[in-house]
Every structure is written in structure tokens, then in C-alpha cells.
Amino acid sequence: MSKHKLDPSILSKINEWLNGNYDKKTKNKIQALIDNGEFNELTDAFYKDLEFGTGGLRGIMGPGSNRINKYTLGMATQGLSNYLIKTYPNQSIKVAIAHDNRNNSSLFAQIVAEVFSANNIYVYFFKGLRPTPELSYAIRELGCQGGVMLTASHNPKEYNGYKAYGADGGQLVSPHDKAVLAEVHKISNISEIKFERKEKNIEQIGKDIDEKYLNELLKLSISKEAIQRQKDLKIVFSPIHGTGGVLVPPILKKYGFENVTLVEEQMTVDGNFPTVIYPNPEEQEAMTMALNKAKAIDADLVMATDPDADRVGIGVKNDRGEFILLNGNQAACLLIQYVLTAWEKADKLTGDQYIIKTIVTSYLIDKIAASKSVDCYNTLTGFKYIGAIMTQLEGTKTFIAGGEESYGYLVGEHARDKDAVVSCAMIAEMAAYYKDNGSSLFKALQDLYLEYGFYKEKLIAITKKGKSGAEEIKALMEKYRNEPPISLGGSKIEVIKDYQSSLSKNIITGETQKIDLPTSNVLQFFTEDGSIISARPSGTEPKIKFYCSVNIPLNERNEYYKTEERLNTKLEVIMKDLGV
């Protein structure tokens, strides 16, 4: 493939960057790609502009309109600045900025601060890396109109990203994200980006906010007496080189846990993540060092957070004495059951409380909430939608907890994003509570299944990189829409929900209903036997994800493993039927 075979629109964009007011280093990198014949790389870097997905802007670092770099972040920040100035006319506008441990995160945070300050927007700038949920808290605490977190969450080391927040401390949702993008698209030339730093508009923050945030989380503790009796609970924790190392050990100490072992090799702040392949606690490989440490000291609980500490993976011992990793659905179910039961025992459930989950998260949570007469809201994938509902209901109902299958949970109303710091504290408290009552997290999970049915979920993610990959994913979704399966796993499809057309159709009766959620490229198939299969292209990665949930009764505790095997077989059959 030669340069002349590049799509004309892509070639035009490349020439804009080569001839425009971009720095020499950027131009040299682009020229090197041309000289080396890296035309696929050039296509991927320039075939589109980065847009806000479920987790803000996220992409590979490097030159190009579809890459994370000084200019794409500068345009995003200039667009956000223009939006804030229009939205809050004649007001003193304030924002907060934080960053994680990724390569260039600190540099990118400085660039974002420079652009805001140049637009006469006052910046509260976290000195040193901090977790995403603390930024959400700080926006609310400091009365900001917005904020930015520089992170690519759990993506590989080549990635970085930009999460934009509103005045409520939640990530931007429609129409605000689209309004910001409209402002970005109005920028016709990078000379319109104000990069000239105004030092008077930047204030460093840190320890004072840390202490306020941690004290707010401490108020959420429910089982203080159980913790006191189980203060020697053996906990192993790893931040996987990220921001969790800043605040998770302090919150565990504040809660009263005195026997926390840190995975020292992963306490080192390092954007190359040298001890893991991917810094994602959803992956067993990323949890290996923590699990090995737990086995060595015979720990009760293992926890590891992702780079920006909004997700947490946990490991527990089963009834065979083996360490197993709980998936995000299991952890969310346990956490919500624990908190709701504690509120129920304290006579605090008055009918004005609620929880929130996403449509691809276990429907066992809906059953748990119904049994406590607590409203359970289902929303689109992405914690920003959970935060939006919280803001909508603020002052009228009380949010207790929320979660999504991708290892993100929130307890309390202090933030509008998933919070691994409070989750670590509450999961440790939950483990102490069950141990204090002669049980364990594993037994508590079995108890849930005995009461409500054994729910088993599986996620398959298929990566399709670049422009051609995006086209493949689009074609696959079109096929599912035009030729939906008749049955899955031996059970007929009863209902199909298409969140793009906002229609739910009962295949048996032909009846259709409107889906009262924002439109999204998601399909769900509900079978007669209660299985739920969802297909969804990722909003932050070049992937299409298939979420599958099956369930059958668990009659006896000693039937756990046999029942689990039946469910695993059913999941395999469904995935085969889907062709994935």
C-alpha cells in the first residue's frame, strides 16, 4: 500500500497536520510513519476524530486525530471550556483536574490545566496522582462546574484518555456530551486552542481533599463492631501500579483493619505496568501476584484495583480452601445484598431508597431489591448513566448502592462515578461481618443462590481493531438485527430489545413496547427459560461484547458445583449458537 493509495480524506488530514501549526516532534513522527510505509497505522490514526464513548475519550497515544495527544486533548478542553463559558455566562467557572499513573498522564493533565486557565477558568489541580472517584467527590465538594480525569482506566499501556465531568460530579451524558463535541467541531484550526498557561488561575490541592473524602467514606461503615472483633482479618491488596495505592490502604486503616498486606512489587507507580500483561483486575493474570501472596499468608480476602481505582477485583476462599476470583456480577450481588440487609435490620428502609444497575448486569440484583421492596433502576452500560439517575433523584429519594458487571460499584452519594476506594472498604467490612457470624463471602454467595436461584454470567469480548474492525462490528450487529436467532441454548427467544430503535418486541405475541432509555447500539435476547443475552459494541475499546446470563434453582448447598457445571455447559451452547 502506498501513500497515494490512502483514502483521499485521510491523506488530506495527514497533510493538514504536516503543514499546519503543529510542533516539529509531532510532524516528524507522522513523516516517519510515511517513510516507513506504515499506512495502516496512518489510516487508523487519521480516519476519524476521537469522540466521547461510555468512558469519555480513550485511545492509543500518538500523532493523529484518532489518537490521544496534546492537540486532541487541547481541542477537547477548548471545546469544553467554550461550552462551560456559554452554559454559565457571567459566572466564575471552576474545574478540578486529576490524573492516574499512565505514561504522559501528568503531562496531559498539565496541558488540560493550561487550556482551562488560558480561558480564565479556575483550576483545582491535584498534586500527584489520585483516583477517579476522588475527582468526582472534589467537583461536588469544591462547587465546580466541571472536571477532567486523565486516564484510560484498565486499557493496555499504549492507551490514555480523558473523562469529562459536569457540575454534579458525573461524567457528561447526552445532551451535554454532544454539546461539548459540537463546540469541539466548531474549532477549525488548532490556533484557536488557548495553550498559554495563566498561573493565577491554577491552585494545587491534595491532602485536605483526601481527608474530607476518606472521612465521608468512613460514615458509610455499617458493621463497626464486627470489624473491631475481626480487625486482624487477613487482607491482601494491590493497586496494580496505579492510584489505588494512594487511598485504599488509608481507608482500610480508618475502617479499623490492622492486618493488610500490600503487594509491594505492584505498589510502585509505573505506567508501563511491568508486572502484568493488562492492568485489568477482571483478568486472572493481573490478579496473580496478589493471589500468590494470599496463598502464602493464608489470607481471608484479596483485592486489586485498576489504574484509576474505580474498579476492584476480589478473590476469596471457597469451601475447598482454594482461592477463586469472583466476577463483577457476583461481587455486585454480594455487596448490594449486604448493604440492603443491613439497612433493613436497622429499620432504615422506608420505601424512599433505591439502587441502580446496568442492563447487562445480573438480574439477580433486581430480585434482591424486590425482596427488600427497594426500587431497582436499570440503565445503559456506563456508570455515567447511573450517576445521571442519581442526580435526577437527588433530594427526593436516597441512593444506597449501585454497580455494573465490569467490576465497578458505588456505595453512598458522595460521588457520581464508580468508586473502588469505598468498594474496597465495604467489601472488607462485608468479609469481616460474615466471618464474625461464622460464615464467609463464598458461603454468603451460596446463600444468595439458594434463596433466589443460581445465576451464572459470562462475558465474551471479540477485538476488531482499526477501521476495518469497526466495519466488521457494524456488519455483525446488522446481521443480528436483520436475522435474529430463533432460539439460544435450546430455549426459544421470547423478547428482543433493540436499544437503538428503542423498541422491545415480544416474538410470541408480536406486541411491542417503547424502551424509556437513551438510544444505544445494544441488542438483548430474552429466552423462555430466563436466559438473557446482550450484544454490544464497546464505547471505549475496539471490541464487540457478548454478555450472557443463565439461571436455574440451587436446591442444596452440596449441589453447588454440579449446578455450576450445568450452567457452564449451557453458556457454552449459547455462545456456540451465537457463533462466538
Just list the catalytic residues.
153
What is the 8-class DSSP label of residue 101?
S
Q: In what helix (H) or strand (E) does residue 135 lie, and over which residues does it extend?
A: helix 132-141
Nine cell digits for residue 32? 516517519
Specify whether the backbone of 530 is left (phi greater than 0), alpha (psi in -120 to 50) or beta: left
Residues belonging to the chain:
580
Dihedral angle sign, alpha carbons of residues 534, 539, 540, 542 = positive
State how far the Cα of 457 lies from the Cα of 546, in Å rounded to an integer.
10
Helix residue ranges, H only, 189-242? 207-218, 224-229
Tell me the CA distances in angstroms from 559 to 317, 394, 508, 529, 562, one per residue in order: 18, 44, 34, 20, 5
State how far the Cα of 248 lies from the Cα of 131, in Å rounded to an integer.
10
For the beta carbon of residue 90, count every other beta carbon within 10 angstroms. 5
Q: At what angle do helices 420-436 and 441-452 cross, to 10 degrees?
A: 90
Task: Answer for the pair 139, 111: CB distance below 8 angstroms, yes or no.
Answer: no
State how far the Cα of 177 lies from the Cα of 53, in Å rounded to an integer.
9
For the beta carbon of residue 103, count every other beta carbon within 10 angstroms. 16
State how far the Cα of 65 lies from the Cα of 349, in Å rounded to an integer.
50
